[in-house]
């Protein structure tokens, strides 16, 4: 070991003491950098939704890392540079708030982050109910709030000035079904008659109402609309009636158990419409195919995102690879949406060139992120006057050969959409 | 007309399935005047048992009958010895709360053991289809309907022509007199729980090939089973058969012809109307 001289010792101690005394800021200046910009994130980190909260946290931290360190080969906003170039390379840092899945706690956490942590913007909060209250705190204090995952249409109908949503909402999910059918009509399919089969609580009844509205607005004939109570002991009466109405396609809003009854009853009746499009959450659950096997093929479901779009969009696979290397599992749709939300917010702060909330708000309004810089199946990100991303959409997946394959929009499809679905005796 | 026949045929088949589910409820209710609110939870557990035998042991449901049914007979017997016997003399409210509590214990035990996932089987037996009166019906539904008829027939013969059966009927008619005649009433009660739970397990075995199981699946059948028993008539086993078939037919025929959304409204309007005219149910014998 080299002996330490008296002079050296004094020098080193002085630097160390100065760093300790003046804290992060001086240390950062000494390191040639200012303190990172604090961004607040309010999510359910504990409680019943903690698992989803952890996924979101992973996705957001990956996005922050992509902003803060250079990834020269990634075509994402702020990936190639270190930190925010228009703010002299300053880094960003996330300050976490735990909503515990509760609207009141979410709001209190948002207030704490704004007032005590001095965050320049907020991102959150997964559940629509928590997003509604947490964004209220931001609106009252004039802090931008970016939401990436909540799906209640009401959130962007409140006329808030500081609220922005990158992801799609529930009405979008019905819209994409009709958009897909429009595309099919353009390809020469004759599709006019639609039937709706939905469970009769908030989820199903709302979706049924929205489907009815789209059918009327776009000139389809709504030939049957049947609501039932879940779990149903039988859906024979409902499906006999729908079959008698002879729809070209059926829109379903059903729970998993209902979907199994529907599948089996359709098979029993030896009838299948040209297409059966569902809002069902069962798309992500293997239980469905375990229960019905091959009989579940050709059903279509909407999804906000699917890893399968990576086949046509290599960027998705590259980001998924980074994610998987860090966390050991594939990205899911919630992760993809949260990741995109964080990058959008960082992009706005960079373009604002300032940490002033009003400048960030203005930059968010002027956001123009093109499709090729997104891991989402969207045509881009641009906010309308209500703060909703006008390009937010989803994908349609179809069960083909035992897997969920992205089949629409056609430009990101990984497999050919099978339409009309083959009759039972030719499967 | 092209709607009526398929609706009536599936209504009849479905009604027989409802009747099979209701059989055990009706039997226990008839013999000892205890309303078992946890009835449909035994159905759920029997479906799980059948599922796991199929998933782990590759035993087809029909072949699982000789395993599942005796096990549930014992399960019913044990339920009686541990719980029901202690509340026989208790007020009606206590009995209701006891079986209601049992419902939650069994349901959340299933949640704990199997998780909230939904399981169904997909096998050769489940895939077949037959034609009834020219209407295609899934083969497993027809099997369940036939098993239902057989179960009602067998139970009816047992009650009429065996000594034990007669003893059970004596207990149902008058507990005290049965006691003075030297009938072991306590054993008869345990037996009726065994038979009641075994028969709902039989329903579970034959339901699984066309109906999936999850911890809350009892909700789909409990109300229908109760309505079948009340509509058909208390104290008579074949009442559940008539009640179940009536509900299946009303639900499917009126539901299909008028509006499926209100199918259970039709069922329960008819239910109330019939009970106003015949409070003892369709087959019931006088007031109790």
A237–B255 C-beta distance less than 8 A: yes
Burial class (CB in 10 A: 0-12, 13-18, 19+), A108: middle
Chain A touched by B238 (CB under 8 Å): no
Task: Find the range with the poorest average confidence among A93-102, B44-53, B66-75, B227-236.
Answer: B227-236
Angstroms from A422 CA to nearest CA on chain B: 18
Q: What is the DSSP string of A7-47?
A: HHHHHHHHHHHHHHHHHHHHHHHHTT-PPPEEEEEEE--SS
**For residues B265 and A238, what is the distance between their CA atoms, to the nearest angstrom?**
14
A268–B221 C-beta distance less than 8 A: no
For residues A320-336, give the mean pLDDT.
93
- Antiparallel, parallel or unpaired: β A249-253 and A193-199: parallel
pLDDT of amino acid B32: 87
pLDDT of amino acid B280: 84
How far separated are the first and last CA of chain B, in Å rounded? 42
pLDDT at B187 over 60: yes
pLDDT of amino acid B275: 85
A260–B118 C-beta distance less than 8 A: yes
For residues B73-94, give the mean pLDDT.
93
A269–B3 C-beta distance less than 8 A: no
pLDDT of amino acid A151: 86
For residues A122-151, give the mean pLDDT.
94
Distance of alpha carbon B205 from its chain centroid, rounded? Answer: 12
**For residues B187 and A53, what is the distance between their CA atoms, to the nearest angstrom?**
55
- Give the nearest chain B residue to A232 (CA atoms): B220
For residues A395-401, give the mean pLDDT.
91
pLDDT of amino acid A298: 94
If one compares A107 and B173, the residue with the highest pLDDT of the two is A107
Nearest by CB to residue B263, choosing from A237, A257, A290, is A237
The backbone region for B33, taken as left when phi is positive above 0, alpha when psi lies in -120 to 50, beta otherwise, is left
If one compares B92 and A417, the residue with the highest pLDDT of the two is A417
pLDDT of amino acid A422: 96
| Residue (of A236, A401, A279) closest to B260 by Cα position | A236
Using alpha carbons, list the distances in angstroms from residue B92 to A113, A225, B95: 56, 43, 5
Distance of alpha carbon A182 from its chain centroid, rounded? Answer: 24
B211–A290 C-beta distance less than 8 A: no
> In chain B, which ranges are continuous DSSP H helix?
4-32, 39-57, 61-79, 85-87, 92-114, 124-127, 139-161, 163-173, 175-180, 185-207, 219-232, 237-249, 255-257, 263-277
pLDDT of amino acid A263: 93
- Antiparallel, parallel or unpaired: β A395-400 and A403-408: antiparallel
- Mutant choice from B120, B225, B247 vs A, greatest count of A C-beta within 10 A: B120
B122–A291 C-beta distance less than 8 A: yes
pLDDT at A31 over 50: no
**For residues B194 and A149, what is the distance between their CA atoms, to the nearest angstrom?**
52
A257–B118 C-beta distance less than 8 A: yes
Nearest by CB to residue A233, choosing from B6, B127, B224, is B224
Q: Is the ipTM reported for this complex over the cut 0.95? A: no
**For residues A222 and A242, what is the distance between their CA atoms, to the nearest angstrom?**
11
B120–A290 C-beta distance less than 8 A: yes
pLDDT of amino acid A30: 45
Residues 6+ apart with CB under 8 A from B157: none
Phi/psi of residue A381, each to 5°? Answer: -125, 120
Token duo for residue A189? 């399919």
Chain A touched by B1 (CB under 8 Å): no
User: What number of CA atoms fall less than 13 Å from residue A77's CA on the CB side?
Assistant: 25
pLDDT of amino acid A29: 46
What are the residues of chain A with a beta carbon less than 8 Å away from any beta carbon of chain B? 200, 226-229, 231-234, 236-238, 240-241, 244, 256-257, 260-261, 264, 267-270, 285, 287-288, 290-293, 295
B138–A267 C-beta distance less than 8 A: yes
Angstroms from B139 CA to nearest CA on chain A: 9
Using alpha carbons, list the distances in angstroms from residue A214 to A178, A207, A282, A321: 7, 11, 23, 38
Q: Please report the number of interchain residue pairs, chain A to chain B, with beta-carbon separation below 8 angstroms.
A: 94
For residues B149-153, give the mean pLDDT.
97
Q: Report which DSSP code applies to B254.
A: I
Token duo for residue B38? 């946890």
Using alpha carbons, list the distances in angstroms from residue A196 to A221, B36, B111, B261: 11, 37, 32, 12
Q: For all residues of chain A together, what is the average pLDDT?
A: 90
Give the E-state strand segments of A88-140 in sequence order. Answer: 92-98, 122-124
Angstroms from B192 CA to nearest CA on chain A: 27
**% of chain A with per-residue pLDDT over 90:** 72
pLDDT band at A12, cuts 50/70/90? low
**For residues A168 and A166, what is the distance between their CA atoms, to the nearest angstrom?**
7
For residues A382-390, give the mean pLDDT.
96
pLDDT at B228 over 50: yes
pLDDT at B287 over 50: no
- Give the nearest chain A residue to B124 (CA atoms): A293
pLDDT of amino acid A217: 96
Residue numbers in A near B216 (CB within 8 A): 231
> In A192-312, which ranges are continuous DSSP H helix?
202-217, 236-245, 256-269, 287-292
Among A353-367, A400-414, B48-62, the range with the most confident prediction by mean pLDDT is A353-367
pLDDT band at B126, cuts 50/70/90? low
**For residues B264 and B220, what is the distance between their CA atoms, to the nearest angstrom?**
12
Nearest by CB to residue A238, choosing from B127, B216, B260, is B260
Contact A313, A412 (CB under 8 A): yes
| Residue (of A255, A261, A150) closest to A199 by Cα position | A255
pLDDT band at B183, cuts 50/70/90? very high
Residues A52-109: tens digit of each pLDDT: 899 999 999 999 999 999 999 999 999 999 999 999 999 999 999 999 989 999 999 9
pLDDT of amino acid A4: 60
pLDDT of amino acid A15: 54
A231–B256 C-beta distance less than 8 A: no
Residues A209-247: tens digit of each pLDDT: 999 999 999 999 999 999 998 889 899 999 999 999 999
- Give the nearest chain B residue to A261 (CA atoms): B211
The backbone region for A293, taken as left when phi is positive above 0, alpha when psi lies in -120 to 50, beta otherwise, is left
pLDDT band at A50, cuts 50/70/90? confident
Q: Count CB neighbours of B62 within 10 A.
A: 15
Residues 6+ apart with CB under 8 A from B161: none
pTM for this prediction: 0.79
Residue numbers in A near B128 (CB within 8 A): none
Q: For all residues of chain B together, what is the average pLDDT?
A: 90
pLDDT of amino acid A3: 55
- Give the nearest chain B residue to A241 (CA atoms): B256
pLDDT at A6 over 90: no
Give the three-state DSSP class for A302: strand
pLDDT of amino acid A32: 43
| Residue (of B58, B13, B31) closest to B252 by Cα position | B13
B138–A260 C-beta distance less than 8 A: no
Nearest by CB to residue A292, choosing from B3, B120, B251, is B120
pLDDT at B285 over 80: no
If one compares B19 and A13, the residue with the highest pLDDT of the two is B19
pLDDT at B123 over 90: no
Residue numbers in A near B119 (CB within 8 A): 287, 290-291
| Residue (of A2, A45, A4, A62) closest to A330 by Cα position | A62
For residues A291-306, give the mean pLDDT.
89
């Amino acid at each position: 070991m080299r002996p330490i001289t008296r002079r050296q010792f004094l020098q080193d101690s002085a630097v160390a003491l100065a760093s300790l005394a003046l804290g992060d800021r001086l240390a950062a200046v000494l390191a040639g950098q200012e303190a990172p910009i604090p961004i607040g994130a309010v999510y359910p980190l504990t409680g019943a939704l903690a698992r989803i909260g952890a996924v979101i946290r992973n996705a957001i931290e990956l996005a922050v890392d992509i902003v803060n360190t250079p990834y020269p080969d990634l075509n994402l906003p702020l990936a190639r540079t270190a930190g925010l170039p228009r703010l002299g390379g300053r880094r960003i840092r996330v300050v976490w708030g735990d909503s515990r899945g509760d609207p009141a706690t979410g709001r209190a956490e948002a207030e704490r982050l704004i007032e005590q942590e001095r965050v320049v913007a907020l991102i959150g909060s997964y559940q629509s109910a928590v997003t509604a209250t947490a964004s209220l705190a931001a609106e009252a204090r004039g802090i931008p709030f970016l939401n990436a995952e909540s799906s209640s249409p009401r959130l962007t109908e409140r006329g808030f000035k500081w609220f922005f949503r990158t992801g799609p909402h529930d009405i979008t999910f019905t819209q994409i079904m009709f958009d897909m059918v429009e595309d099919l009509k353009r390809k020469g399919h004759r599709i006019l008659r639609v039937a709706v089969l939905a469970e009769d609580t908030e989820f199903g009844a709302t979706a049924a109402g929205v489907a009815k509205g789209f059918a009327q607005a776009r000139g389809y004939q709504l030939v049957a609309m049947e609501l039932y109570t879940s779990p149903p002991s039988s859906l024979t009466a409902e499906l006999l009636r729908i079959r008698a109405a002879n729809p070209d396609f059926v829109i379903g809003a059903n729970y998993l158990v209902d979907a199994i009854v529907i599948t089996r009853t359709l098979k029993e009746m030896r009838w299948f419409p040209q297409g059966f499009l569902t809002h069902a959450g069962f798309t992500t659950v293997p239980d469905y195919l375990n229960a019905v096997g091959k009989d579940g093929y050709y059903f279509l479901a909407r999804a906000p995102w699917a890893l399968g779009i990576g086949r046509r969009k290599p960027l998705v696979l590259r980001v998924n690879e980074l994610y998987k290397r860090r966390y050991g599992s594939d990205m899911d749709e919630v992760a993809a949406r949260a990741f995109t939300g964080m990058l959008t917010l960082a992009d706005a702060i960079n373009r604002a060139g300032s940490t002033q909330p009003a400048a960030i708000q203005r930059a968010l309004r002027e956001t123009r992120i093109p499709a090729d810089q997104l891991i989402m199946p969207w045509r881009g990100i641009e906010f309308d006057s209500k703060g909703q991303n006008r390009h937010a959409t989803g994908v349609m997946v179809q069960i083909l050969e035992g897997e969920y394959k992205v089949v629409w929009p056609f430009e990101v499809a990984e497999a050919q959409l099978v339409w009309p679905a083959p009759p039972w005796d030719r499967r | 007309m092209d709607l009526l026949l398929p609706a009536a045929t599936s209504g009849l088949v479905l009604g027989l399935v409802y009747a099979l589910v209701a059989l055990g409820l009706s039997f226990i209710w008839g013999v000892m005047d205890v309303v078992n609110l946890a009835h449909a939870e035994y159905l759920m557990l029997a479906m799980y048992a059948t599922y796991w035998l199929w998933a782990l042991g590759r035993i087809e449901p029909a072949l699982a009958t000789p395993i599942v049914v005796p096990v549930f007979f014992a399960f019913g017997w044990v339920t009686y010895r541990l719980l029901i016997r202690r509340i026989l003399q208790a007020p009606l409210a206590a009995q209701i709360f006891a079986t209601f509590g049992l419902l939650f214990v069994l349901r959340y035990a299933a949640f704990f053991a199997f998780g909230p996932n939904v399981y169904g089987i997909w096998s050769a037996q489940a895939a077949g289809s037959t034609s009834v009166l020219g209407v295609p019906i899934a083969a497993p539904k027809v099997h369940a309907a036939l098993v239902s008829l057989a179960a009602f027939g067998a139970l009816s013969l047992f009650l009429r022509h065996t000594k034990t059966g007669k003893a059970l009927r004596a207990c149902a008619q008058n507990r005290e007199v049965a006691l003075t005649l030297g009938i072991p009433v306590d054993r008869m009660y345990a037996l009726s729980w065994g038979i009641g739970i075994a028969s709902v397990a039989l329903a579970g075995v034959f339901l699984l090939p066309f109906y999936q199981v999850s911890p809350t699946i009892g909700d789909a059948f409990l109300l229908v089973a109760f309505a079948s028993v009340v509509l058909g008539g208390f104290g008579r086993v074949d009442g559940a058969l008539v009640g179940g078939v009536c509900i299946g037919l009303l639900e499917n025929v009126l539901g299909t012809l008028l509006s499926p959304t209100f199918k259970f409204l039709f069922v329960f309007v008819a239910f109330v109307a019939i009970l106003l005219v015949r409070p003892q149910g369709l087959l019931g014998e006088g007031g109790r």
